[in-house]
Structures are given as structure tokens and as C-alpha cells.
Chain A
Amino acid sequence: MIQAIDILVLALLACTAVSVVRMRSLWAAVMLTGIYSFLGAGWMLVLDAPDVAFTEASVGAGIATILMLSTLALTSTEMKRPAASPVFPLLIVGVTGAALCYGTLDMPHFGDPNSPIHQHVAPEYLKDAVPTVHQKELKVGIGNIVTTVLASYRGYDTLGETVVIFTAGLGVLLLLQGPRKAGGSDGREEGAP
């Protein structure tokens, strides 16, 4: 049953991605990217990662779409017909994809509970959070293990990510809030606050 859902969602994801490639209207491509994000979020939910699905749905399908649409409003909504032939890019993509697929042959199977990723760090996190008979004293004692790891065990990491967001926000503000270049402007300066 779950496998059927997996395959259905993955097929929809693949269809959406391919239609984004073929789409020449940027407006439609942006909307399809939003759908792609939602489908991705749906699959993440099936894969037991509700936190990530939540983030992907609000960020990928919400804010990213809005920002891309506002960029389209400032630029153009149609793209030109690609001039070069698609053979060379297809070749590169095909070779890279084949190499990656060859690499997956050594990967643990989907959902395998004995794969290396489940043996090393995660069991300690779960052991610290889940009360057992032997261990009444909990290290953190918060229900959502993802939040625990995010904010406590990997606090440095999250601090770094917050600083990255801070820096990117500053970058956008510096790029878009400065005075408009005189050359290309026809005097509309209402954008500056």
C-alpha cells in the first residue's frame, strides 16, 4: 500500500519535472515548480519526516513561488527558444546520471533497517530521548527528536545556518534597496522606502 503511494508520488514528481523542462512560459514553469515542491513535501511525509515536509511545503511551495513571481514581474515572463542543440547537454546529463546510478548499486536498499546510517549516530539520539527501564534520567527530554537534535546536539550547525540566512537577507537588501542606476531608469523611484 505504502509502496503504491511511493510509486505514484514519484511518477507525478518525474512528470512535473519533465514538463518544467519543456515549458517555455516562465510563469507556468514557476507554478509547476510549486507543484513539484508540494509533491516532494508529500513524499517526505510518507517517508516519516513531517518536519521537513512542513518546511518544504511552506518554503518551497509558498515563499519560493512568491519570490520567483515577483522576479518575473520585474523581468519577463517568456523565455527565448533555446538556440543550441540539446544533444551535448543530454549527453552530459546521461553520463552523470549513469555514473550516479552505478554508485547506487552499493547503497543499502530502501527502508533497510540495517543500513549503516541507522547504526551510528541516530541510535544514540533515540536512546537519549526515549525513556526505558534502564535509563529513567533523560538527557534532553523533548518529544520531537528532530527539534532536539536541531537545537541542542547540533546547535552550532543551526547557529551557522541562521547566520547564512542573515547574510543572504542582507545581500538581497543591499542588491535591491540601493539607489537605481541612472542610465536605464525612467525616473520611477518609488521603490526606495
Chain B
Amino acid sequence: MSTVWGLYNYWIVIFLMMTGFYIVIARRNLVKKVIGLNIFQIAVFLLYITMGKVEEGTAPILPARDFQTGAELPAYSNPLPSVLILTAIVVGIATTALALALIVRIQEAYGTIEEDEILARDREG
């Protein structure tokens, strides 16, 4: 995989990102927009994680045996993207919950979660 095809992981991740982006800009329903953001978000997580992968590597968790004896160890994948994304996932769900709570309040105030209807009601005053 020394040609340009070695980048296929990024391209599919970008495709997933753009799918989420499309939902966010083309759909008027607020819950659907949050779903789109979620898809976009997970694609970004995957982008980070693919960068941390080392060929023939293994998860960066030391087995107890090697841990004590210090025997020859295999190649480890990069732990840093895992750490960054681990926290990002939980922050992502917290902000998603906040967005959904706002949507619930919008539904209660306007009676709809379709963006154009909300804007129309705002223009009516």
C-alpha cells in the first residue's frame, strides 16, 4: 500500500463527515440536524483514531507478564489520539444532551421543531 490508495481510510472518513455535514445544512428538522452533527462527530473521532494506528501494532495496554519482567515488547499503537477522543466522546454526549434539551424547549415554545416554521413564526412576531 505504498501508492495513493494507502490513504483510503481518510477518504471514507471524509465521506462520512460530509454526509453528516449534508444532513446539518440540508435538513430543516432540528432533531435530524443533531443526528447529522453526531454522524459528523463520530467521523472526526474515527479520523483521529486512524491516525494513531501502527501497522502490526497492538493496543497500548501492557500485559501484566511483560510489565513485570520487561521482556521484548510488540509495537504499540499511539495512545495519544485515544486519550483525546475518549474525553471528546463524553463531552460530545454532554453537549448533545444540551442541544436536545434546547430542542425540547423550542418545541414547547413554538409547537414545532421544523426550522422554517420556527423562523416564520418569529417573523410574524
Q: A132-B70, A143-B61, A171-B98 are in contact. Are A117 and B26 (CB under 8 A)?
A: no
Q: Tell me which of B6, B27, B75, B97 contacts A172 (CB under 8 A).
A: B97
The count of residues in chain B whose C-beta lies closer than 8 Å to any C-beta of chain A is: 91
A5 within 8 A of B: no
Q: A68-B31, A68-B34 are in contact. Are A145 and B16 (CB under 8 A)?
A: no
CA distance A131 to B75 in the complex (A): 14
Smallest Cβ distance from B83 to chain A, in angstroms?
Answer: 5
- Residue of B22, B34, B104, B109 with most chain A CB atoms under a 10 A cut-off: B22
CA distance A96 to B53 in the complex (A): 25
CA distance A176 to B39 in the complex (A): 25
Q: A52-B49, A68-B34, A101-B14 are in contact. Are A130 and B62 (CB under 8 A)?
A: yes
Q: Is the CB–CB distance between A175 and B45 below 8 Å?
A: no
Q: Tell me which of A68, A100, A118, A131 contacts B100 (CB under 8 A).
A: A68
Residues of A within 8 A of B (CB): 6-7, 10, 13-14, 17-18, 20-21, 26, 29-30, 33, 36-37, 40, 43-44, 47-52, 55-56, 59-60, 63-64, 67-68, 71-72, 74-76, 79-80, 82-84, 86, 89-90, 92-94, 96-97, 100-101, 104-105, 107-113, 115, 117-118, 121-122, 125-126, 129-133, 136, 143-146, 149-150, 154, 157-158, 161, 164-165, 168-169, 171-172, 175-176, 180-181, 184-185
Residues of B within 8 A of A (CB): 1-2, 4, 6-12, 14-23, 25-29, 31-32, 34-36, 38-39, 42, 45-46, 49-55, 57-64, 66-70, 73, 75-83, 85-87, 89-98, 100-105, 107-109, 111, 113-114, 116
Top 10 nearest A-B pairs (CB, nearest first) are A109-B6, A168-B94, A111-B55, A48-B77, A79-B29, A89-B26, A131-B70, A17-B19, A104-B10, A161-B87
